[in-house]
Chain A
């Protein structure tokens, strides 16, 4: 494999890792709020979170490009903060990936939180646990399968993205050139052997990731009626 291809692998891995960490940090409180909310606006929030599932990535990428551009709201903010412009940078890719993979992290977490029976949290309250304490000592451990699913799906989905990356990342070697784009370039240039190496690697990676997910989240036979939701 060429040095350029290795660079694409490294950038892809870094992008997926950073995106997943950010998504867990942002997605956990968001999923918790969605799971506990009894608001009439809940369907609206849930729909907004799910939008990247149905929108063509190019649509998302297009609007992100506009927003992050010199005239866009995000772009003006980043320039005012002295961060420059985000399009065609690694940071811009991270922002786009976070939005694009949001539902893949939030939905499993939300389901896991919704599977936690209210009486368990009430019992914790009667046992003197404050709200934040209840979240960390009861909700988080019971939602563990949801966190495994969310991390794996968030990571894997970010690795596989193409449209958003192309729109806002361009294709700058060593900076924003990720695996999926590298494969596309190889195919365009009729370098089918190179394309094969990367594509087959992706297939193996996807299989490995999903298998480990199903093994880790295998339901324990003796798990009682109060266990967290299964993915």
Chain B
């Protein structure tokens, strides 16, 4: 459990947040530029001195009530920023050793130590160890910076838009490594981002920030399904569902994803292009609201294979255009959001509590 109560005033900007983040998985601080998410991360690291209290589990890093402030270099954390900040006078190996040597005495004794060899393998940087940092590509620099942070045996990994400086290709190169990291290492990560794609792929817990305040916080699926939040997602309104690969239709190269609720019961099944992953593998899918349409009865003469029976739960304006509505449909324990015009919504006489069929044209597999 990571707890932080932070207050800071700087010119016209004021930060006032009270956070309780889970002690495992990825928590994403999400919001537009200037909302204070980086300041929160820097305050967690002790790089910025805000007023308040910061605690990681039973370890108190800051508590103004008893004048306690642990300096950054005594906090067992890893910190990765957009520009990587590799030391130019050391090669890759030297960068990795820098923190590892200094952190030797603070390594956790409780068995979930990070194995540097494993990290080097996970991040695919073994061939780079003897290289000078100036010769690395952006994606390589970022992977080295992540490994360097992990080599200090942190109890918490803080990442400030680690992909923002990379182009789409390099992003796609680093994202899977991040995915593997959080799957393999039992290390809580606090991740700052303004990109919904990264949120959809990485987040377990989402904190939505605006103008120095927390607008909402909770599990990812729950927050994305809320229609009352001004999520800065533009055309990309969506929900993220977690499921298992339950079956495949080999001749047609399709796979069935069984979406399950928190208790493991299957909520619904979705067919998608076969990603070639083994049966039973847990995957995350993103369903964009613009790919979902609604009908009042099951359709037989349609090309859309995924029809989910559910109940209309809420309707709201879509921020992108006044003609558009977002409709949340409850499918057992899961929620799906559809985007349609208000005219269609009225033609179907949609209202909360009404049974509908959600037609899902396509889903995006995230791992």
Q: Which residues of A contact B (CB under 8 A)?
A: 117, 119-120, 122-131, 133, 137-138, 141-142, 222-224, 226-227
Known: A127-B148, A128-B73, A128-B99. A222 touches B85 (CB 8 A): no
CB contacts under 8 Å to A, within B64-117, are 71-75, 77-79, 81, 83, 85-89, 98-99, 102-103, 106
Contacts of A127 in B (CB 8 A): 73, 98-99, 102-103, 148-149, 152
Known: A128-B102, A130-B73, A222-B134. A123 touches B152 (CB 8 A): no
Q: Which of B71, B83, B134, B148 interacts with A119 by CB under 8 Å?
A: B83
B133 at the interface (CB under 8 A from A): yes
Q: Contact: B98 with A122, CB < 8 Å?
A: no
Known: A126-B77, A128-B102. A222 touches B135 (CB 8 A): yes
Contacts of A130 in B (CB 8 A): 73
Q: Give the distance in Å from the alpha carbon of A227 to the alpha carbon of B87 in the complex.
A: 9
Nearest-Cβ distance from residue B335 to partner chain A, whole angstroms:
38
Q: Contact: A227 with B88, CB < 8 Å?
A: yes
A119-B83, A122-B85, A127-B152 known; 5 new pairs, CB 8 Å cut-off, are A119-B81, A125-B73, A127-B102, A142-B89, A223-B88
Q: Which of B72, B78, B103, B106 interacts with A125 by CB under 8 Å?
A: B72
B312 at the interface (CB under 8 A from A): no
Q: Which of B83, B85, B102, B148 interacts with A129 by CB under 8 Å?
A: B102
Nearest-Cβ distance from residue B140 to partner chain A, whole angstroms:
13
Q: Which of A122, A128, A142, A223 interacts with B134 by CB under 8 Å?
A: A223
Known: A130-B73, A222-B135, A224-B134. A137 touches B79 (CB 8 A): no
Sample (24) of A-B pairs whose CB atoms are under 8 Å apart:
A117-B85, A119-B83, A123-B79, A123-B85, A126-B47, A126-B73, A126-B75, A126-B79, A126-B152, A127-B98, A127-B149, A127-B152, A128-B74, A128-B152, A129-B98, A129-B102, A130-B73, A133-B102, A141-B89, A142-B88, A142-B89, A223-B134, A224-B88, A226-B88
Nearest-Cβ distance from residue A47 to partner chain B, whole angstroms:
29
Q: Contact: A124 with B98, CB < 8 Å?
A: yes
Contacts of B89 in A (CB 8 A): 141-142
Q: Which residues of B contact A (CB under 8 A)?
A: 45, 47, 71-75, 77-79, 81, 83, 85-89, 98-99, 102-103, 106, 132-135, 148-149, 152
Q: Give the distance in Å from the alpha carbon of A125 to the alpha carbon of B102 in the complex.
A: 10
Q: Give the distance in Å from the alpha carbon of A49 to the alpha carbon of B259 in the complex.
A: 70
Contacts of B149 in A (CB 8 A): 126-127
Q: Give the distance in Å from the alpha carbon of A123 to the alpha carbon of B103 in the complex.
A: 14
Q: Give the distance in Å from the alpha carbon of A222 to the alpha carbon of B103 in the complex.
A: 31
Q: Give the distance in Å from the alpha carbon of A141 to the alpha carbon of B94 in the complex.
A: 13
Q: Contact: A122 with B47, CB < 8 Å?
A: yes
Closest chain A residue to B132 by CB distance? Answer: A222
Tally inter-chain residue pairs, CB-CB below 8 A.
70
Q: Contact: B85 with A119, CB < 8 Å?
A: yes
Closest chain B residue to A127 by CB distance? Answer: B99
Nearest-Cβ distance from residue B153 to partner chain A, whole angstroms:
10
Nearest-Cβ distance from residue B149 to partner chain A, whole angstroms:
7
Contacts of A125 in B (CB 8 A): 47, 71-73
Closest chain B residue to A119 by CB distance? Answer: B85
Q: Give the distance in Å from the alpha carbon of A128 to the alpha carbon of B100 in the complex.
A: 9
Contacts of B102 in A (CB 8 A): 127-129, 133
Contacts of B47 in A (CB 8 A): 122, 125-126
Q: Contact: A224 with B98, CB < 8 Å?
A: no
Known: A222-B134, A222-B135. A126 touches B72 (CB 8 A): yes
Q: Give the distance in Å from the alpha carbon of A129 to the alpha carbon of B83 in the complex.
A: 20
Q: Contact: A126 with B45, CB < 8 Å?
A: yes
Q: Contact: A120 with B45, CB < 8 Å?
A: no
Q: Give the distance in Å from the alpha carbon of A133 to the alpha carbon of B101 in the complex.
A: 12
Most buried by B among A125, A127, A131, A142: A127
Most buried by A among B77, B87, B103, B106: B87
Closest chain A residue to B100 by CB distance? Answer: A127
Nearest-Cβ distance from residue A134 to partner chain B, whole angstroms:
8
Closest chain B residue to A226 by CB distance? Answer: B88
Contacts of A124 in B (CB 8 A): 87, 98
